Amino acid sequence: MKLLNCSSLQIEEFSGLSMPDSYAILSHRWEADHEEATYQDFGKPDVIARKKGWKKIQHFCRLALQQGYKYAWVDTCCINKQDFTELTEAINSMFKWYARSSFCYAYLSDVGVDGVSLQQSQWFTRGWTLQELIAPSRVEFFDKDWNYIGSRADLCDIIQQRTNIDRNILVAGSGRVEGLLTTIPVARRMSWASGRTTKREEDLAYCLLGVFGVKMPLLYGEGNRAFIRLQEEIIKETNDLSIFAWSAPTHSPLGYFGILAISPSAFQTANDIVLSSDIKYNPEYAITNKGLKITTETSLMPDGAHFLSLRCHRSSDPGRRHLGILLRDQGGNVFLRWKTGRLWSLEHSAPGINHTMFISKFLEPDVAETLVGNMNSVYRNAFCFPPTPPGVQFVKAHPDGMWSSSRRMFITQGLDTFDGYVQYRTSGAADQNFIVACGFTGGGANPWVCLAANINETQHIFQTAMDGDMMKLREIGSKRGVTKTKISFADANVLDLNINNNTTDRSL
C-alpha cells in the first residue's frame, strides 16, 4: 500500500508488518483527469505544482498532520494506475483501506459555491464515494475552503435522508460496518447506488465490491457485463433472493428479460425492502451455463405466468406480502423474466408447483427479440392437453423438464425426436391409472399418440412407460396409436380425452 508522508509530501510504500498504525484517508470528487496529481507526477515539481489536485493534497496533508497523522492516502496519487495489477489489487482492497483508516476527510469542493448546501453536493452522486462514506469508522466533512462542516455521526439524519442508507450503518463504530452490511438485504444495499454515476460504466460494478464483500478481476471495455459479473459473484456468497428484486422498463418486445439487472439504477425502488424470513430457509441456487438453476415453488397465475416469491416485503406493507417476479416458460425447463417494470405480489392464493428451473441470466435486446419470436411459435410441434374433467386427476408428466404445467403441454419446439406421457388417475368405485403417451420423429414429421391403462390389453404399454423405457414406448405406441393421418401439426397436436368412469374403455 502506498502512503503519502504528510511532512515530506513524498510517497512511501508499505506492506505487512511495516504498515503504520494509523493513517488518514481522503474522500473527494475528482477534478478533470488532467487536473489531478497522479503517481507519475511525483518527482516532477513543475508539472505537479500547476494542478488543482495538488493544492487539494497539500491542504489535506497539512490538516492531517495538525491532527497527529504522519501518513495519508489519496486515490489519485497513491495508486500507480499504469500498473494494471496494482490497480486491480487497489480497487479490490479499497473498501478495506477506508475501513482501516483512522480518519476520513470528506472534501466537498462544491459546498459553499453559489450557496450549494451539503445535501446538494455532487459528492453524493458519485459511485466511489458510497464506500468512502460507509466504510471508515470516522468521517468528517469539509467545504471548498476546508472549513469544517460536521461529522458523519452529527450529520446522520441529513445524510440518511439524502442517501437512504440505513442509520445503523452511518453510526457504526470501528470494525462493525462489514458485519452490519451482511444483515441488510442485497436489494437495499443496491438501492444506495441507484442514483450514483461513474466515469467508466464498469466502475458502477467495481465501486460496489466492498459493499458486498466480493472480489473480481477488472475488465475495462466490457460495459454492463461488469455489473452482471458482480451479481454472479454475490450469488456465490449468499442465497438472499432479494438480489432479484429489481424493476426496470425493458425494450424487449412483450417485456422479457433475464433474471439479473443491468445497472444499480434498477434497484431504485428497493430502499424499503426487508427480508420476510432468515435466508437460511431460502432455496439454494447457482449460475450455470443454462442460466440460474433453482429448485423452488412457483405459483401459477391466470395468464400462465409463474410467480416466484423473493421472500421479502416492503417495510411499509402491514400485510407483509411477499414480493416476487413473473416468469414465462420457454421450454426445456428454461424460463425468462416477464413484465420487469415492477415487482409483483400475490393478492390471492394460487396453486403452487415445486420444480427445478433454469432462468436465463441476461438477454441482449437482439437476443430477446429472437427469443420472443420463438416463444410466439412455442405451440408448433407441441402436445397440448385439455383441462382434466371431473373424476380425473393429473398424476405426473414425463419428461417433466419438457412439461409446461401452466399451459398443460409438452413444449417440443427445436427437438428432432420426442417421447413422453402424461399419467392420470380416475376416482370412483375402482381407482384406475392410465397414460396418454405421445411422441414424434423427424422434427415433428411423424407424430403419434397412444392411450394405455393399467388393467386392460394396453397394460404392457402402461408398464413400459412406468419402467421408463421410452424407446420401447415409442416403438409400441407409434404402431398402435393415432398417426399423422389423423393429427394436424400445423400449430399443435391437440388431444380430446373422453373418459367414462363406469368402464375401462377409453377412446381418443
Q: H-helix or E-strand containing 314? A: strand 312-314
**CA angle at residue 146 from 3 to 174, to 5 degrees?**
55
Q: Identify the sign of the CA torsion 206, 207, 212, 215.
A: positive
**Residue 348 has what DSSP assignment?**
S
> At what angle are helices 470-480 and 459-467 packed, to 10 degrees?
150
- Within 430-481, residue ranges assigned H as helices are 459-467, 470-480
Condensed to tens digits (0 to 9), the pLDDT of residues 9-61 reads 999 999 888 899 999 999 999 988 899 999 999 989 999 999 999 999 999 99
Residue 479 confidence (pLDDT): 83
Residue 505 confidence (pLDDT): 29
Residue 405 confidence (pLDDT): 81
Is residue 219 within 8 A of residue 202, CB to CB? The reply is yes
**CA angle at residue 129 from 241 to 38, to 5 degrees?**
130
Q: Tell me the whole-structure pTM to 2 decimals.
A: 0.84
Q: Where would I find the beta strands (DSSP E) of 18-70?
A: 24-28
Cα 66 to Cα 53, 59, 71, 124, 149, distances in angstroms: 20, 11, 12, 27, 18
CB-CB neighbours of 498 under 10 Å: 9
Cell numbers for 187: 436489494
What is the residue-wise DSSP string for 95-154? HHHHHH-SEEEEE-TTTTSTT--TTT-GGGGBSHHHHHHHSSS-EEEE-TT--EEEETTT
Q: H-helix or E-strand containing 421? A: strand 418-426
Q: What does pLDDT average to in each consecutive run of 10 residues of the chain (508 residues)?
A: 96 92 96 91 91 95 97 97 96 97 97 90 98 97 96 96 96 85 98 97 98 97 97 98 91 77 96 97 97 95 91 95 93 90 83 90 70 62 85 91 85 88 82 89 84 84 93 87 42 34 31
Is residue 273 within 8 A of residue 323, CB to CB? The reply is yes
Residue 10 confidence (pLDDT): 96
Measured distance CA(272)–CA(192) in Å, rounded: 11
Cell numbers for 221: 471495455
Residue 170 confidence (pLDDT): 96
In one-letter notation, the amino acid at residue 118 is L
**Residue 262 has what DSSP assignment?**
S
Cα 352 to Cα 155, 217, 308, 492, distances in angstroms: 48, 40, 10, 27
Region of residue 354 (phi > 0: left; psi between -120 and 50: alpha; otherwise: beta):
beta
Cell numbers for 506: 377409453
Q: How many residues does the chain have?
A: 508
